[in-house]
Chains A and B, each alone.
Chain A
Amino acid sequence: MTAATPTRPFLAAAVPWLALAVLIELLLLRTGTRLAIHVPAGRALETPYLALAALGRFAFFVALVLAVLIAAAAVVDLWVRGDAPARVAAVCLGGFAAAAGLLLLLPGASPMVAAAAAIAAIALAAAVVPRGGLVPAVPFSLLGFSLIASAAYAATQASPALPSGAAVPLLDAAEAAGLAAGAALPLALCRRPGFAAAGFGAAAALGALTVFAAPAASGRIILLWNGGVTGALPPVLYAAAAAGFAAAAWQAWRRGERMLLAAFALLFAGGLGFHNTYQSLLLLDAAAVGALFIARPVPAAAPQPSPAALTAPAARPHGPPGLA
């Protein structure tokens, strides 16, 4: 189903390593160092803390280099695939990379980069359709809508030409669409989640509800900082998103779909909203993996008669020759 392209072996090898590097970075740099500061140990733990931060920062740079290489490979792969949605997605992904580079020189270009990311996400969601069908594209489309709302918020903050009163509704819309993408993630696997996946998802939902019900849990502010999740919406929505993520990850793991499992890890680490071009690139890499590796299973076809059989005399007896 997936045509061989020059970059496909690289993608197949690199994407799981990117997911691993991202998870290490998320665990050590974004979570570990931010939780460790709450340990009342003063200077006694300063050296281990700094070592933890340095290791996490190295994982960040490894992930960053891999994310850029994978985006470049995905652009080539999508272009070589040849259908119109894939080629448009390749151009849009390349456009985001160019805009992200421009942001280093022009910090005021942030709304443009946000718009480029949203456009690329929508185009990549559309590129899922030719191979996977409409249903697996749903979570990626919802991710695209979330990025559109975030980009609109970024634009309203930068331009006098746009209405300024829409900030809160746009941020809420971005968060709601992002959570819906998480909840809909099992759809990307083209099959219904099994009993074990549903149970795993239910456990994750319970965990999320616990985090949001706790009056003074560090988990909530870590979610805000790491993932841009503000917690402004009803807790049941966050529970649904956690359930979707967990069920999809379980199912992908059990079925050996390591590329999709890696893509889910990238979505989880990328978070909601626009933090920096690294996290935006993780989201787009995940969508690109979806566009390239999701393929609807082909139903087993009935055996076709050979041309010889079609031209054989009608009186020829049926069945294996030995039984004639």
Chain B
Amino acid sequence: MTRFFRSRKLLAACAVLLTAGVLQFTGVNPAASQAVLLVAYESPRDPGLDPASPAWDAIRAVEIPLTAQRGSYAAGGGSVATVRLKALHYGGRLYVRAEWTDRTENASALRVEDFTDAAALEFPSRTAAVVPSVCMGQPDAGVNIWYWRADVDAGSVDLAAAYPNMHVDGYPFEDDTFLTARGAGNPVAADNPVQTLTSRLFGYLTTSPVQDAAGKGMRTDTGWAVVFARPFRSPGPDHADFAPGARTDLAVAVWDGANQERDGMKSVSQFITLQVAAAGLPGEGGIDGRFVAIAAILLVGLSGIGIGLALYGAAERSRQP
């Protein structure tokens, strides 16, 4: 009998290990992500790059908590508590709108003591076999980052505004031979306020040879609203790809220039799930709203039942001899 029981235990252990091995080999993961879901519905009209476009009024924002980066030098940030995200797609382009509270506008980094407001979205690259490290990816799972800067978005700034007492004899040259940063391909000197970056490891962040993400920011009553956009498919190496019906991960970072935030000093989120929906926008008060409201009512009601059961259990126990 003991031998029989032992052999059954051995068989059960082998079955567990074999099942785990099959799941790993086939890449089937029965566990599903419970992270906050950002759904990019298909928009009936082109939202464009304008953060104030009425196309954004039809959808509700998802509010993502941010925390100070403490994972690496330079550590800091944490001055922005949350970021509100919306997403749409139209004509094979993905649009993501990020909005956050920032009382001070820092749209110039002309002086060495100035730091610009900025924001970035991070996606796993198309070759990522697993969810990458949120800290700039890992060898088997790179990341693709879209990095918006307020100073580049604001365009060229009159130097005299930053240094009112400066004196210039004259500088008539406007071609790239003399605008050396632009001539060397420095992305900060380019006209596009959104840089496309890739990384496969902490410390390996680099500018992508294909710069196809676009964006535009605007000041709101409370802070910034920025729209990022890019076609679903990108020829860039290690870029993310999107498709209707597909899911991917998305993380956000925000820099507050007034807090001297730059580099690793930023407010960061964890990965959330981005679902590019194959369907159009749901109607107002659609099934999702009712579904979740019922869930909330059930939650409160059943919690009450749980407490009631606990009291019942305690009373039963006290009656036991």
* A residues at B contact (CB < 8 Å): 13, 33-34, 37-38, 40, 46, 49-50, 53-54, 57-58, 61-62, 64-66, 68-69, 83-85, 88, 92, 100-101, 103-104, 107-108, 110-115, 118-119, 122-123, 125-127, 129-131, 133-134, 137, 141, 144, 148, 151-152, 154-162, 164, 167-168, 171, 214-218, 220-222, 224-225, 228, 230-232, 274-278, 280-281
Contact = CB atoms under 8 A, between A and B. Distances in A.
Contacts of B133: 33-34, 37
Interface string B267-302: 000100101000000001100111111011011001
Contact of B313 (A64, A129, A232): A129
B36 A157 contact: yes
15 contacts: A61-B19, A61-B20, A64-B20, A68-B30, A119-B303, A122-B302, A125-B306, A130-B313, A144-B303, A168-B65, A220-B71, A224-B270, A225-B270, A231-B67, A276-B34
Nearest to B67: A230
Contacts of B179: none
Contacts of A158: 37, 288, 292
A205 B99 CA distance: 38
B126 interface: no
Interface string B65-84: 10111111111000001100
Given A61-B20, A85-B309, A160 B284 contact: yes
Nearest to A9: B5
A62 B34 contact: no
Contacts of A114: 34
Contact of A126 (B34, B82, B201, B313): B313
Interface of B: 9, 16-17, 19-21, 23-24, 30-37, 39, 60-63, 65, 67-75, 81-82, 130, 133-135, 137-140, 201-203, 247, 270, 273, 275, 284-285, 288-293, 295-296, 298-299, 302-303, 305-307, 309-310, 312-314, 316-317
- Closest 6 pairs between A and B when the two form their complex, measured CB to CB: A221-B71, A122-B306, A129-B313, A159-B292, A278-B31, A61-B20
Contacts of B288: 108, 158-159
A263 to B, nearest CB: 18
Given A123-B309, A126-B310, A158-B37, A104 B30 contact: yes
A171 B36 CA distance: 12
Q: Which of B21, B295, B302 has the most CB of A within 10 A?
A: B295
Contacts, number: 232
Main secondary structure of the interface of A (DSSP, over half): helix
Contact of A130 (B60, B72, B247, B317): B317
A13 B9 CA distance: 9
A141 B290 CA distance: 28
Contacts of B134: 225
Nearest to B137: A37
Given A92-B302, A104-B32, 4 more contacts: A107-B275, A126-B307, A127-B313, A148-B299
Q: Which of B21, B73, B289, B313 has the most CB of A within 10 A?
A: B313
Contacts of A46: 139
B139 A37 contact: yes
Contacts of B81: 168
Contacts of B290: 161
Nearest to A167: B63
Contacts of A281: 31
A63 to B, nearest CB: 8
Contacts of B82: 167-168
B65 to A, nearest CB: 5
B75 A216 contact: yes
Nearest to B23: A61
A210 to B, nearest CB: 13
A171 B140 contact: no
A112 B298 CA distance: 10
B141 to A, nearest CB: 9
Given A104-B30, A126-B313, A230 B65 contact: yes
Contacts of B307: 122, 126
A103 B290 CA distance: 18
A86 B9 CA distance: 27
A311 to B, nearest CB: 22
B35 A275 contact: yes
A173 to B, nearest CB: 13
Nearest to A69: B16
Given A84-B309, A160-B285, A168-B82, A274 B35 contact: yes
A119 B302 contact: yes
B284 to A, nearest CB: 7
Contacts of A125: 306, 310
B24 A50 contact: no
A101 B32 CA distance: 8
A155 B62 CA distance: 11
Q: Which of A65, A100, A112 has the most CB of B within 10 A?
A: A65
A38 B202 contact: yes
Given A62-B17, A83-B316, A167 B292 contact: no
